[in-house]
Amino acid sequence: MAETTGRATMRDVAALAGVSIKTVSRVVNGEPGVAVAVRERVQDAVQRLDYRHHLAASNLRRGSSRTGLVGALLQDVSNSFSAALLRSLEDALRDRGTAILSASLDEEPERERSLVHDLVTRRVDALVLMPSTDRQDYLSSDVRAGMPVVFVDREPRGVAADSVTIDNVGGARMGTEHLLAQGHRRVACLTDLAEIYTAASRRKGFDEAYAARGIRPHERLVVTGLRGPGAAEAAVSHLLELDQPPTAIFAGRNDLAQGALRALHRSDLETSVALVGFDDFPLADLVNPPLTVIRQDVGRIGRLTAELLLDRLDGDTSAPRRVVVEPTLVARGSGEIAPAP
Amino acid sequence: MAETTGRATMRDVAALAGVSIKTVSRVVNGEPGVAVAVRERVQDAVQRLDYRHHLAASNLRRGSSRTGLVGALLQDVSNSFSAALLRSLEDALRDRGTAILSASLDEEPERERSLVHDLVTRRVDALVLMPSTDRQDYLSSDVRAGMPVVFVDREPRGVAADSVTIDNVGGARMGTEHLLAQGHRRVACLTDLAEIYTAASRRKGFDEAYAARGIRPHERLVVTGLRGPGAAEAAVSHLLELDQPPTAIFAGRNDLAQGALRALHRSDLETSVALVGFDDFPLADLVNPPLTVIRQDVGRIGRLTAELLLDRLDGDTSAPRRVVVEPTLVARGSGEIAPAP
DNA sequence: GTCCAGCCTGACAACGATGTCACCTTCACC
DNA sequence: GGTGAAGGTGACATCGTTGTCAGGCTGGAC
């Protein structure tokens, strides 16, 4: 009893209650066909021994191959977008008693591969993936083996799977055009590594907006490879010191917009240089100036993702679906600053 | 091969390679003592069948009782505090190949109990808990059975376990005193349900700051039971319409501060009414006005939590430890607004 | 040629649980 | 009193894996 190691098993309970293991199993699983007196005796023993059901053993025997586990590999669970997504998945899966294994990829391909491997080894019932790799061919055998995968934020390449994404090119074009329409011509563009699907798409939208007006962006104002807010802040500080500094900035992700804003504040230029960010975030309406953003409806994306996931878990084996959500422009002030004459 | 159900098992691999199951096991686990030719034959079969190790079965047999799973029950994974905590846990556990099962409690006691039950059933190696219950007596049998539990943000009651908390009373006292020292006398206090440990402590600190000056808070300005930013916004809007509105606000949690700030903006009072929040958050320096907060160092808390967790996982069975981190006041502007004469 | 050591390999039981099936009561009914 | 159905209960095999141990084969020493 004072043993710190080892929990009671059904065998122990059976011994204490003076019944067979199978009867304990019946009681624990609430199966009918157990005499009331016996049931009570077993329940008593369960209590006395602090018996806890062993889900893994149970699943193994049932061969149901259902572990009630779902993996969620996101960019960074502490980023508001990933965090909100995680939360809506959680809400959608709660009722099913399905638990979520979450992890952050930080845009590192190797980490994605190793974490996927780990999750497969744990026999998750399904996977939600915001990939950091270019291609996900490595996933096909697992998908073939019956593990549903739903991609979020980025489309799958090299593997057939569902996805929920937004129109990144369109969103970026809209954001950039919003600035161009106000007369800005020196618009800076901040994005992450060109290998990253969303970063490349948003950069493309930026270019397209210029092209649509028959003009070209200033190359020196286009900065890629920005890994986080710190890098964006440094890059913008540098841009502001150019002979021909930007009069407006288009930031390709919420953390880059935040870094940019911080740089503007440091130079006291937050009310002179326009700024449009991609991705809304909780306090965008309260910063100074209130931030104009291209918003993707995270709640909606989360719900759609969960919906696809649940369908697949319920046995839907139809062809992969691609769901694309249209982003919207939310004008709050920072994006409506006119260029200096 | 076209089977969508069922993965290959060691039995299948053994059959294909023409060896016994045990030999496959040896190869898969990289054990020595297998002839090179045989090893290659097995590895080939593994590849061909897309064999994936079954961790649960392996753990079951090994009886190691180590699942490489840790549970993290937090207040709300989409809240920046919980999310940052989750992230630092993840970083600390990554190297060990330990995965994290996370879930949100939303301050609902029932959810905590049911999620803990679920995690025990899954045989997590340890648990990180930001409790929503008053008392956690229900945990003692599991702790006795050898499951380490580390409490974060709130101390355990009714069970012996480690904890990492901050000095909530002291922090709230410091924040309130900061406002009183500037001459504010009508300071509003916003907190969540009085049953919540942190909410009650912060409320207590607020009262103590007043008491230390031999004065008393205005009862009508003390609002409890605020469940989220929306409630805080509504409450503050209401307070601002009183005959004797507050000249300063002390908000007992980051989301309440955000709600309060939103209400101030709506009334264009953000530069006239002082505001001090409890808990820092990523953009607090960029909002308008920059928010003065009582900061708890989330990264530090996360690291300390992980440290305790790892020690316990490594077999440390010494008496429970209580780690208390001192919060600091970060003055940014919102808390330094003087009362109207 | 015999013997033994050392190296590989596989048969078997077991981890904790559950599905299958057979057995034993009991009791109603003819 | 005999029969059969219904209701309880347990023995056993099994899920996928690994620890234990026995045994086969090889080759070198005598």
Contact A122 B99 (CB under 8 A): yes
Q: Which residues of chain B does A104 touch, with a Cβ-Cβ cutoff of 8 Å?
A: 87, 90
Strand D proximity list, CB < 7 Å: A 18-23, 26, 32-35, 37-39, 57, 60-61, 63; B 6, 9-11, 21-22, 25, 28-29, 53-54, 57-58, 60-62
| Protein residue closest via CA to C1' of D14 | A61
Considering chain A, what percentage of its residues have pLDDT values greater than 90?
A: 89
| Tens-place pLDDT, residues A34-88 | 999 999 999 999 999 999 999 999 999 987 668 999 999 999 999 989 999 999 9
Q: How confident is the model at residue B4, as a pLDDT?
A: 36
Is A3 a residue whose pLDDT tops 70? no
Q: How far apart are CA B304 and CA B26, in angstroms?
A: 39
Q: Determine, for residues B122 and A99 on separate chains, whether the beta-carbon distance falls below 8 Å.
A: yes
What pLDDT does residue B95 have? Answer: 87
Q: Using the predicted structure, report yes or no on whether residue A197 has a pLDDT greater than 80.
A: yes
Nucleotides of D under 7 A from a protein CB: 7-12, 14-20
Q: How do the domains of chain B map onto residue ranges? A: 10-53, 69-166+298-325, 168-297+329-336
How close does chain A come to B211, measured CA to CA in Å?
A: 34
Contact A287 B282 (CB under 8 A): no
Of all residues in chain B, the one with the smallest CA distance to A48 is B141
Task: Determine the distance in angstroms separating the CA of B84 from the nearest CA of chain A, rounded to an integer.
Answer: 5
Amino acid A146: pLDDT: 87
CB pairs under 8 A between A and B: 150
Whose CA is nearest the C1' atom of nucleotide D16?
Answer: B57
The mean pLDDT value for A1-23 works out to: 80
Tell me the CATH architecture of domain A168-297+329-336.
3-Layer(aba) Sandwich (3.40)
**From the CA of B37, how many Å to the C1' of C2?**
31
List bases, strand C, within 7 Å of protein CB.
7-12, 14-20
Q: Distance between CA A146 and CA A143 in Å, rounded?
A: 5
The predicted pLDDT at position A145 comes to: 87
Beta B292-295 vs B222-223: how paired, if at all?
unpaired
Quick check: A90 and B76 CB within 8 A?
no
Query: In this predicted model, what pLDDT tens digit does every residue of B152-191 receive, in sequence order?
Result: 999 999 999 999 999 999 999 999 999 999 999 999 999 9
CATH class of A10-53: mainly alpha
* Position A4 pLDDT exceeds 80: no
Residue closest to C10 C1′ by Cα: B20
CATH 3.40.50.2300 holds for A69-166+298-325: yes
Look over chain A and give the mean of its residue pLDDT values, rounded to a whole number: 93
Contact A287 B286 (CB under 8 A): yes
Model confidence band, residue A32 (pLDDT cutoffs 50, 70, 90)? confident
Rounded Cα distance between A251 and A205, Å, is 12
Tell whether the model's pLDDT for residue B145 goes beyond 90. no
Check B53 against A121: CB less than 8 A apart: yes
Closest-approach nucleotide to residue B35, Cα vs C1':
C8
Q: Tell me which DSSP letter residue B295 carries.
A: E
Q: Distance, in angstroms, between A260 CA and closest chain B CA?
A: 11
> In what order do the strands lie in the sheet containing B187-190?
B222-223, B187-190, B248-251, B274-278, B292-295, B328-330
Q: In angstroms, rounded to a whole number, what is the distance separating the alpha carbons of residues A212 and B262?
A: 38
A110 Cβ partners below 8 Å, 6+ apart?
Answer: none
**What whole-number distance in Å separates Cα of residue A204 and Cα of residue A212?**
12
The domains spanning B69-166+298-325 and B168-297+329-336 adopt the same CATH topology: yes
pLDDT over 60 at A2, yes or no: no
Nearest to A287 among B52, B120, B287 (CB): B287
The nearest alpha carbon in chain A to B93 belongs to A103
Cβ pair A144:B50 closer than 8 A: yes
Best residue of B49, B108, B122 to probe chain A, by most A CBs closer than 10 Å = B122
Q: Which amino acid residue lies closest to nucleotide C14, measuring CA to C1'?
A: B61
* Neighboring chain A residues of B289 at a CB cutoff of 8 Å: 288
In this complex, do A80 and B80 lie within 8 Å of one another by their Cβ atoms? yes
HEC assignment per residue over A45-56? HHHHHCCCCCHH
Q: Is the pLDDT of residue A159 over 60?
A: yes
User: Looking at residue A6, what is its pLDDT?
Assistant: 64
pLDDT of B6 reads: 64
For residues A288-297, average pLDDT: 95
B281: which 2 tokens? 């958050």
Average pLDDT for chain B: 93
Q: What average pLDDT does the segment B218-247 reach?
A: 96
User: What are A305-333's pLDDT values in tens digits?
Assistant: 999 999 999 889 899 999 999 999 999 99
pLDDT given at position A312: 93
DSSP A241-281: TSSS--SEEEESSHHHHHHHHHHHHHTT-TTTSEEEEES--
| Nearest nt by C1' to B63 Cα | C15
Report the gap between the CA of B112 and the closest CA in chain A (Å): 13
H or E segment and range at residue A208? helix A197-212
B121:A83 CB<8 A = no
Q: Kindly report the nearest CA distance between residue A80 and chain B, in angstroms.
A: 7
Of A127, A160, A150, nearest to A305 by C-alpha is: A150
Shortest Cα–Cα distance, B244 to chain A (Å): 26
The CA distances from residue A272 to A212, A228, A246, A267, A329, in Å, are 26, 24, 10, 10, 20
CB contact under 8 A, B101 and A97: no
Residue B101 pLDDT > 60, yes or no? yes
Whether B90 sits inside 8 A of A104 (CB atoms) is: yes
Mean pLDDT over residues A146-161, rounded? 94
Radius of gyration of chain A (CA): 26
Residue B328: pLDDT band with limits 50, 70, 90: very high
How far is A154 from A200, CA to CA, in rounded Å?
11
Angstrom distance, A125 CA to D8 C1': 36
Residues of chain A in contact with residue B65, where contact means CB-CB under 8 angstroms, are: 5-6
> Across the beta sheet with A187-190, what order do the strands follow?
A222-223, A187-190, A248-251, A274-278, A292-295, A328-330
pLDDT tens for residues A10-20?
A: 999 999 999 99
- The mean pLDDT value for A288-295 works out to 96
Give one DSSP letter per residue of A120-162, joined into a string. HHTT-SEEEE---SS--GGGHHHHHTT--EEEESS--SSS--E
State the pLDDT at residue B177: 98
Across the interface, which of B7, B121, B283 has its CB nearest the CB of A55?
B121
